[in-house]
Amino acid sequence: MNELVEAETDDFDRSVGDAAIEGLARKGYCVVDDLLHPDLIRSLAGELAGLEASGALAAAAVGREGGRRQAAEIRRAAIRWFDGSTTTERRLLDVAEQLRIAINRRLFLGLFDFECNFIAYPTGGFYGRHLDSLSGARNRVVSMVIYLDAGWQANYGGILRLWETTEEDAGTVEVVPQAGRIVLMMSEEIPHEVLPAHRPRHAVAGWWRVNASTGQRLDTSR
Ligand SMILES: O=C(O)CCC(=O)C(=O)O
Ligand SMILES: [Fe+2]
């Protein structure tokens, strides 16, 4: 293995990744700490702070193409899509690519690509209950959320609440969005919401997708 590849793989812990994917396979979601190297978390937080300071974030919309709208009653946050133009973004995209391969190997999902955005919730920001992909749309298949705020405490609000299934009586799990914590979820199966944050709250959210044009899983084994 050459040095470049070694350097890239240092950004995440493979055994934590394998355990996370196992949790995803068993339960449809998992919450892990220490998947990404703390230096990458700090770099992402720094980059988002710079984007905020320079006014590069835009109010987040809700819904898919065609039905897109700014829906302040559903979501209050600002975002910016990754464009891969910085080293930090590329480091995370490299990790996402390695996770894509590992998830496909374990779950046979035919994940094809990855899209990703920075999210900044202001004080009072929130995101009402939603699914990241509507059932049957077959676009976003696995979701990842990465938390960036060091020292976040439960009483700061901004808890991510997820439902373990789409059934009415599903159990819930509450996640304190601490720096370095990561949530993986099946996009069509795990409803979730962000409770109002009492302080500015920062995250990256990304989605592995199947082929967007046809909505079909590509079989890369042939
Ligand atoms: O900020 C979070 O914890 C979740 C974000 C989210 O659900 C989304 O962007 O779809
Ligand atoms: Fe979501």
Instruction: Kindly report, residue by residue over 8-47, the tens digit of the pLDDT.
Output: 568 999 999 999 999 999 999 999 999 999 999 999 999 9
Report the C-alpha gap between 76 and 71 in whole angstroms: 8
Contacts of 110 (CB under 8 A, 6+ apart): 104, 210, 217, 218, 219, 220
Rounded to the nearest angstrom, the gap between the alpha carbon of residue 200 and the centroid of all alpha carbons in its chain is: 18
Dihedral angle of Cα 78, 29, 46, 71, to the nearest 10 degrees = 0
pLDDT at residue 220 in the model: 43
Token pair for residue 42?
């700090």
Q: Which domains are seen in the chain, by residue range?
A: 3-209 (2.60.120.620)
What tens digit of pLDDT does each residue of 51-87 get? 999 999 999 877 654 455 666 789 999 999 999 999 9
Q: Cα separation of 100 and 113, whole Å?
A: 8
The C-alpha R_g of the chain, in whole angstroms, comes to: 17
| Coil vs helix vs strand at 202 | strand
Give percent above pLDDT 90 in the chain. Answer: 80
| DSSP letter, residue 28 | S
Which of 132, 144, 194 for mutating ligand 1's site (highest number of atoms within 8 Å of CB)? Answer: 194
pLDDT at 2 over 60: no
Question: Residue whose CA is closest, atom 9 of ligand 1?
Answer: 205
For position 118, what pLDDT does the model report? 98
Nearest ligand to residue 160 Cα: 1
Give the end-to-end CA distance of the chain in Å, rounded to a whole number.
26
- pLDDT for 28: 98
> For residue 38, how many other CB atoms are within 10 A of its CB?
11
* Binding pocket residue ranges, ligand 1, CB within 6 Å: 119, 127, 132, 145, 160, 177, 192, 194, 203, 205
**Structure-block tokens of residue 26:** 């068993």
Q: Which two three-digit tokens encode residue 176? A: 């304190």
Amino acid 25: pLDDT: 97
Exposed / middle / buried, residue 7 (Cβ in 10 Å: 0-12, 13-18, 19+): exposed
Q: Ligand 2: distance of its center to the CA of 173 in Å? A: 14
Report how far Cα 212 is from the mean position of its chain's Cα atoms.
18
Q: What is the pLDDT of residues 97-131, one digit of tens each?
A: 999 999 999 999 999 999 999 999 999 999 999 99
Predicted ipTM > 0.95: yes
